[in-house]
Amino acid sequence: MKSIAYRTDRFEGFVNDSIARNSGWWTYYRAHLKESSGGTLRVGGYYAPDSFNIIRAVLAGSENILNNFYESLLKKGPQGNDLNWLIDSCTRETSDDDPAIPAGHERFTIDLVSGLNWSDGTVLTAYDVVFSLNTIAINTTAESHFYAPYGLDNVTSIQALHSQQFVIEFNCESYWHLSDFGYIPIFPSHIFGSYNASELLDYDPVPPDDNLTTSGPFIIDQYTCNEQLTILRRENYHFLPDETSTEMSTTSTEDSTTPNNTLLNGTILALGGGIGVIVVVMVLVKMKKST
């Protein structure tokens, strides 16, 4: 188990999560100066991402960097459980629930939480989700990316019903289908909607000179290749924590009235806690290629 030393004389709110321990997304989201909000947190030991294009990046270590900028429908909580991060409600149906669904198929109807946005102020909608999932579904190189386990080979259709709701259908039933698409990163259709598959893969931005439109809680301020990355808290992030609360709590999402249709029976994090650091400075290490 990885153990990372950290200072508690100036900062509080570190989250010892089950994946990154105390040096990961949840700590950046919640840690802050003891005497005030925000602060500059310095961390080290991250592998430099091979690309800031979420579609182009292939190294597993890139995920630790890029997940600060790009959201997905689900997020791993501090205890390793699945959190319905952007999902307001999820209905799972088969032909037993709706005769119009072909036998053996499985359909998910997802409603997004309201108030989601991109860093440029554009509203994040179900159309962005559908664009992202369709792009991954037809991208034949997806198996080489760090989200490779979340394949969409069995998807028969993905469509947005309106800006807050979309439907995805599989040609078989599986316990894993929600996580298959729930952890795929979402990217902005208003930026990349005109790109073809080849152009998306060729896009290789170098921030901050190349501005990134992102959905996560941080934006890139400075980057020195293979040396250092400085990220800033995004002030218009849709889930900024509450400054007045210091407790982390969970709320059940189980709906016992519709057990056959309700998949969201875990816990979702209540957005309380310290406001989070304003600046995170990451010291990067270049990953050596195997010979």
Q: Give the model confidence (pLDDT) of 91-150 as tens digits.
A: 999 999 999 999 999 999 999 999 999 999 999 999 999 999 988 877 655 445 555 445
Does residue 3 lie in a domain region?
A: no
pLDDT for the residue numbered 139:
66
- What is the three-class DSSP state of 272? strand
Its domain, for residue 161, covers 11-285
Residue-wise pLDDT tens digits, 76-86: 888 888 889 99
Does residue 108 lie in a domain region?
A: yes
pLDDT at 24 over 80: no
Q: Structural domain tally of the chain? A: 1
pLDDT for the residue numbered 239:
87
Does residue 187 lie in a domain region?
A: yes
Does residue 1 lie in a domain region?
A: no
196: CB partners within 8 A, 6+ apart: none
| 9-29 mean pLDDT | 73
Q: Distances in Å between the alpha carbon of 51 and those of 34, 118, 226?
A: 35, 20, 11
Residue 49, preceding bond cis, omega within 30 degrees? Answer: no
Does residue 291 lie in a domain region?
A: no
φ/ψ (deg, to 5) at 245: -110, 145
Q: Distances in Å between the alpha carbon of 72 and those of 187, 206, 207, 209?
A: 9, 22, 21, 25
Does residue 290 lie in a domain region?
A: no
- Residue recorded with tokens 């182009």: 56
Say which CATH number the domain at 42 has. 3.40.190.10
**CB distance 155 to 137 below 8 Å:** yes
Does residue 281 lie in a domain region?
A: yes
**CB distance 250 to 14 below 8 Å:** no
Does residue 185 lie in a domain region?
A: yes
- pTM, two decimals, is 0.81
φ/ψ (deg, to 5) at 117: -150, 160
